[in-house]
Amino acid sequence: MFKIGSYSEACAMRLLGWLLHRNGLLKMWLYLAALLGLYFLRRWYRERQTVENLTEKYVFITGCDSGFGNQLARQLDARGLRVLAACLTQQGAERLEKATSERLRTTILDVTSTESVEAATKWVKGCVGSKGLWGLVNNAGIAHPVALNEWLTKDDFVKVLNVNLIGLIDVTLHMLPLLKETRGRVVNMASVVGRLAFHGGGYCPSKYGVEAFSDCLRRELCQFGVKIAIVEPGYFRTSMTNVQHNLEKLEQQWARTPQDIKESYGQSYFDNYCEMFKEALATRCSPNLYLVTDCMEHALTSLHPRTRYSGGWDAQFFYIPLSYLPTALADFILMRSWPKPAQAV
């Protein structure tokens, strides 16, 4: 016969078991939150520690005519570091010299020319003397041509790769002996498109290459005390993202595209693609270059720099997280607003 007492006892035991289980889960989450808090507190404390005698440190930066390189050169100069700024043009060098102190020195450098890189290396050796080179910032880069891959040629890819990847490697290999002497830093400018490629041309492959080269270099040089940092910016308002210039380049690329390929996409596709490109550049590019240059400065001046820095809110909260999603889902998110080609299946 059913007994009320035994049923009540069973219910009480189940309730007690559920409460104990819930209490155990709550404790687990509290322990996890405490561990995460301690981790971020420790990281915050370590990252606040800076390298000593910064005013005696020499840093060589490429691509200082404009954009991130120019901003970083002025930023480090204001902090008292001895900046060696490489510009592509004499006009860019003169403008930078006028905007900075007498500590900053400039030279002309074409990273695609080994002769120019060798001359710059010799110049750096003469500038640093016995103090050595503390930091190398590989910032020089180009983006154009940017278009659908089928609209481009091999030479279009080579042009970008020669600057963004091969030039970066050439400069790094020439400067490494100086950096090993000081157990210094290398800061390589990559991009979110080095983690998640979503437009054609040589820019994305070049930035994937920078990521790979930097990872290998970090593992090879850690035993020499040289630290490698990768900076992965999102979209920012620089000469690379000038709307009118980009649209003109896109028009030129479309005009050179073979007729049969143009017919497969259609003029309507190109017009809509240009509109999408224009809207993205006009609305998504941040004017706050310091979000990236602060990362670069930290990589050079912190006693414990990070391996990777995501510059910009779009990089931190959209592109980098998106790169971890399943490929099919990432493809859908990136392609949902693209136009449809005339001969699409």
Q: Any idea which residues carry the catalytic annotation?
A: 203
**Count of Cβ atoms closer than 10 Å to residue 99 Cβ:** 12
Residues 6+ apart with CB under 8 A from 155: none
Provide the angle, in degrees to the nearest 10, between the axes of the packed helices 90-98 and 67-79: 30
d(CA 13, CA 5): 12
- Structure-token match 């002309």, residue found: 108
Residues 6+ apart with CB under 8 A from 67: 139, 238, 239, 240, 289
End-to-end CA distance of the chain: 72
The closest alpha carbon to 293, from 177, 168, 187, belongs to: 187
3-state secondary structure of 83: strand
Which tokens go with 89? 């043009």
By CB atoms closer than 10 A (0-12, 13-18, 19+), residue 100 is buried
Residues 6+ apart with CB under 8 A from 53: none
CB 235 within 8 A of CB 70: no
Which tokens go with 181? 């002497």
What DSSP state is assigned to residue 165? I
